Structure 1
Amino acid sequence: MEWDRWGTIPGLVRWAAGRYGGAEAVVDGRTRITYRELGDRVERAAAACVASGLEPGDRVAIWAPNSLDWIVSALGAVTAGGVLVPLNTRFKGAEAAYVLHRSRARLLFVTGTFLGTSYVAALRRHRAELPQLEQVVVLADGAPPEYRTWRDFLAAGDRVPAAVVRARADAVEPSAPADIVFTSGTTGRPKGVVTRHEQTLRCYATWSQVAGLREGDRYLIVNPFFHTFGYKAGILACLMRGAVAVPQAVSGTDTVLANIVAESVSVLPGPPTLLQSLLDHPARAAHDLSTLRLVVTGAAVVPVRLVERLRTELGVGTVLTAYGLSEATGLVTMCRRGDDPRTVATTSGRAVPGTEVRVASPGPGRPGEILVRGHNVMAGYFEDPEATARAVDADGWLHTGDVGVLDAAGNLRVTDRITDMFVVGGFNAYPAEIEHLLAGHPDVADVAVVGIPDPRLGEVAKAYAVRRPGATLTENDLIAWSRRAMANYKVPRQVEFVPALPRNASGKVVKGELRACSSRGGSPSAPPRPHPVGEGP
C-alpha cells in the first residue's frame, strides 16, 4: 500500500518531490511552484524550525488562511518532528490563546492582517497568558520587534546542514503524533484530537482512491486548512496523487468562479451552501466551468436536486458525499462513484475500507448512535485520558455522539446529533462552547443555544438568555458583544430573553423544547427546576 511506503508525512513530501518533480504543485495567486520546488521549500522551513530550537514532539501552531506559506510552514514543522496545531482563522484572540495555552505550543506561525483583522494585535493582547510560547513568526514582511518575520525565520535555518534536516525527518515514526486538531464537545471547552502519521496517510490514500483524484487534477481548496478536511483531503491528498493545489483564502462565490476559469479547476470539494451559491450565481453562464469533473460535499443536508443540477447543468461526472469527524481522522463513510443521485444526496455512503460502522439502535432500520472502529479512530484527546475513555470504549468503538440509520446496503444516513452540534455554512458549531462564551457576559445569568434553520447558511445559532436582576441587556447588545468575543459563525443571529430556561429533573436544559419553540415561534414556558446539589446552570 502507498501509505505504508510513505511511512510518515515527511516521507510523503520527499516522495512527491521525487515522483512528480517538475510538475506544478501549488498555485497561489501569481506564485507557481513545482513539486521539486515545494520539497525544497519544506526542507528549508524544517531547517529553520531546527535552528529555532524545535524538538521532536513539540507543538507548532499555525493561525493563518489558506496559502502557500501555510503549506510550507506546516509541512516544514512536521518534517522537523513537530506536532501541528492548526488554529481556526475565525477565532478571536481569547479563543486562539486557549488552544495555544492548552497545547503548550512553543512556536506559532501567524498571518499579519486578514479580512481587516490584525491577528498579531489580537495575539499581543493575550501574550502574557502564554509563557510557553517561545517564538512567533509572522507570515509577512513586517513584524513587531518581539516577533520574527517569515523571511528572517527562514534565513536563520540556512546554517543547518541538509543532512541534519534529513536525519530529523527520518527519525519521525509512523506511530508518532502528527497533529492535534481542537474540536469542541459537550463540555464547552475545545479538546485536542491527536492523530498519528500512519493513520492520516492511510485514511487519505483511501479518500483519494475512492474519490478518484488523479495526477494532474487541478484542485481548488476552499475548505480551510485548519480543518482536518482542508489539510488532509486537500494538501496531503494532492501530494499523494500529484494534483495541483490551488488554495483559496476565502470562500466567496465570485472568487470561486474566477479561480475555476483561470486555473481550469477539475476538483472542487465544499459545503452544500457553496455549491448552491455557485449554481445560482447570476453570472454563472458567463463562466466556463466545463473543467469541473469531481465534487465532494457533506457536513449538512444535501438536496437531491443539488446533486442532479451539478451533474446536468455543470456536467460534473462525479458527485460524492461523505461523513467524518475529527475524532475519526475526518473520514468515516463515503459514497462511491456510480452511486445514484438519491443515494448520494440522502446518505453519506458506506464505511471506508478497513473500518467498521454500526448503529447502536433498538432494531434494523431504527436510529441510534453511530459507532466507528478502525485505523481512523484517533489516538486520543491530548492529555485527557478521562475524555478519551468516554469517547472510545474498551472494544475500540468510537462513540461519535451522532445519530444515524444504516440501510440494507450499509449506507449511513445521519439524522441527528446527540451533542446538539449544528453546521453553519460548513462550520461545526457547538452549543456548549457558545454558551460558555456567552456566559462570560456580565449581564447574562443563564443561557442556552440551539441551531435554527437559515436559508443561506443552513443553520445558525439562536440564544435563549436569562438576564441578571436589574440588567437591561438587549438582543442587539448581546449580538454585538458576541461578534467581539467569538468567531463569526458561532455568533447568535437571534437572542430571546426568557425568565428561566426549561430544565429536567436533573437540572439539564431541555433543548428539545427550545427547538420546538423556535420552530413554532413561541417561548419556552416550563418553570425552572432546582439544580441537584453541586451542579450549576
Structure 2
Amino acid sequence: MKSIHWASELSTLALRYGERPAIADSAATTTYADLFAKAAGVGRALTLAGIGPGDAVATLFRNGADAVAATFGVMMAGAVEVPINPALSTTERTYCCEVADVRLLISGVGLARDIGVDGPAVLNIEDIKQATLDPATFPFVESNTPARIVFTSGTTGRPKGAVHSQIGRWTANILLRANLPFQPGSGSNVLLMTPFSHGSSLMTHAFLSSGASVTLLDGVDPPIVLGILERGECDAMFAPLTVLAKIVAAAGGRRFTSLRTIFCGTAVLKPTLYARAREMFGPVVRVTYGKSEVFNPITLLEAEETENWYASGGEDACVG
C-alpha cells in the first residue's frame, strides 16, 4: 500500500453505522454520524489553518467524544498526531510539544492554557462546528510517513517519542481487531477508563471499526463503574492492574455476568488479584503485553489460557 486515505475509511463507518451510538461519556451519547461530522470539522479546521501531511498536531483531551473526534480529524487531515496525556505537568506537556515540533494544539477549554505562552497555537474544539465528511476534500498520505508520535511514560528518564508511520497506524488497527477475543457488533460496548492518549485510543478505534460502541470515563470512579456493570451496559472492559484492583476492592462480594472479556496487562497479575477477579466476573480475564514503541498486543494469554495458568499453580510471571 503506497498511500492511505483515512477520510475514505472513516466516511464508510459514518455511512454504515450512522445513527448507532458510538461514544458514551459523562456528557452524552454521540452517534457515529455526529462523531464523524465533528471529526470532519476538525479536519477542515486544520486544513484551513495550513496543516497538512507531515505537520505535527498535538491533541490534549480528557476522555470523551471530543478526544475521539480530534484524533480522527487529525488522521483525515494527514497530519502527525501527538497525543498528550492531560496528567502530565505543564513542563512535560511543553517538552513533548517541543520534541515533536508541534505546530498546532487541539484541546478544550481549561486544558490548553497549561501549555504555556511559548507553546504552539491552540485550536479550541468547542469552536469547531460539524462538517460534511466529504472524502474528496482530504488528502492521501504516503504510507511510510509519520502518523503518530506516542510518548512513553518516562519511568527511565524524560518521556521519549515513539514515531509510528501511517501504514503502521493502519496495520495496528487491523492487527488489534484481528486479535480481539470476539467480534464486536451492534450490541457490544467496551468500557475504557485509562487516558485516551494511550491504549484507550487504540481500543476505541478497533471497536468503532466493527460498529460497536465505546464508553469513555475520565478515570476510575467505582460507583459509576459498578453501576455500569450492574446494569450490564458493557460486554468488555479494559482494566490494567491498578484499575482492576480498584474495581475489585470497591465491589465487595458482588458478582457481575455481562462481561465477555476483561483486557488486563501492563504489569504482573498476582494470583490473589486474579482469584478475586475470577470470583467476581468469571474466567474472562485476558492478559496482554505491549509497549508504546510497537504495535499492540505483542503477546497475550486468552482467558482460557489465563485460567489454566493460575489453576496449575502459576506464580508471579504472568504478563501475557
Taking structure 1 as the reference length, the TM-score comes to: 0.53
Q: 1:400: which partner in 2?
A: none
**Secondary structure in 1 matching 2:236:** coil
2:318 to 347, 352, 355: 347
**Secondary structure in 2 matching 1:127:** coil
Letter in 1 for 2:237: L
Offset of 1:36 from its aligned partner?
Answer: 2.7
**Counterparts of 1:98 and 1:335 in 2: how far apart (Å)?**
36
Which contiguous aligned blocks of 4+ residues in structure 1 show a shift greater than 6 angstroms? none
Q: 1:78: which partner in 2?
A: 75
The answer to whether residue 284 in structure 2 is matched with residue 318 in structure 1 is: yes
Q: 1:334: which partner in 2?
A: 300
**Secondary structure in 2 matching 1:26:** strand
Alignment CA distance shift 1:97-1:311 (3 Å):
same
The 5-angstrom pairing of residues 369-448 of structure 1 reads none
**Secondary structure in 2 matching 1:66:** coil
List gaps (5 residues or longer) in structure 1: 114-118, 140-149, 350-537
The answer to whether residue 38 in structure 2 is matched with residue 41 in structure 1 is: yes
Offset of 1:30 from its aligned partner?
Answer: 4.4
Higher relative contact order (CA 8 A, sep 6+): 2
Q: Deviations over 1:124-182 (max 9, x none)?
A: xx313x3xx2x31234xxxxxxxxxx22x437xx6xx865x53424x123333221012
Offset of 1:262 from its aligned partner?
Answer: 5.2
Offset of 1:8 from its aligned partner?
Answer: 5.5
2:92 to 86, 91, 95: 95
Letter in 1 for 2:38: R
Q: 1:18: which partner in 2?
A: 15
Offset of 1:17 from its aligned partner?
Answer: 1.9
1:238 to 178, 199, 207: 207
* Contact 2:287 2:306 (8 Å CA) reproduced: no
The answer to whether residue 246 in structure 2 is matched with residue 277 in structure 1 is: yes
* Contact 1:269 1:297 (8 Å CA) reproduced: yes
Alignment CA distance shift 1:347-1:203 (3 Å):
farther
Q: 1:249: which partner in 2?
A: 218
The 5-angstrom pairing of residues 381-530 of structure 1 reads none
**Counterparts of 1:274 and 1:39 in 2: how far apart (Å)?**
30
1:176 to 145, 160, 176: 145
**Secondary structure in 1 matching 2:51:** coil
Offset of 1:109 from its aligned partner?
Answer: 1.8
* Contact 2:21 2:213 (8 Å CA) reproduced: yes
The answer to whether residue 113 in structure 2 is matched with residue 109 in structure 1 is: no
**Counterparts of 2:67 and 2:260 in 1: how far apart (Å)?**
27
**Counterparts of 1:203 and 1:347 in 2: how far apart (Å)?**
24
1:127 to 114, 117, 122: 117
* Contact 1:13 1:239 (8 Å CA) reproduced: no
Offset of 1:209 from its aligned partner?
Answer: 3.0
Offset of 1:340 from its aligned partner?
Answer: 4.2
List gaps (5 residues or longer) in structure 2: none
Alignment CA distance shift 1:25-1:284 (3 Å):
farther
Letter in 2 for 1:122: D
Offset of 1:252 from its aligned partner?
Answer: 2.6
Alignment CA distance shift 1:259-1:173 (3 Å):
farther
1:290 to 248, 257, 261: 257
* Contact 1:12 1:239 (8 Å CA) reproduced: no
Alignment CA distance shift 1:66-1:342 (3 Å):
same
**Counterparts of 2:8 and 2:275 in 1: how far apart (Å)?**
40
**Counterparts of 2:301 and 2:138 in 1: how far apart (Å)?**
39
Offset of 1:12 from its aligned partner?
Answer: 3.6
Aligned residues: 312
**Counterparts of 1:167 and 1:121 in 2: how far apart (Å)?**
31
Letter in 2 for 1:173: E
**Counterparts of 1:85 and 1:197 in 2: how far apart (Å)?**
13
* Contact 2:162 2:293 (8 Å CA) reproduced: yes
Bigger Cα displacement from structure 2, 71-80 vs 21-30: 21-30
Alignment CA distance shift 1:24-1:77 (3 Å):
same
% identity of equivalent residues: 25
Letter in 1 for 2:138: R
Letter in 2 for 1:325: K
1:136 to 93, 97, 122: 122
**Counterparts of 2:230 and 2:251 in 1: how far apart (Å)?**
16
**Counterparts of 1:29 and 1:187 in 2: how far apart (Å)?**
34
* RMSD over equivalenced CA pairs, Å: 2.7
**Secondary structure in 1 matching 2:263:** strand
**Secondary structure in 2 matching 1:154:** coil
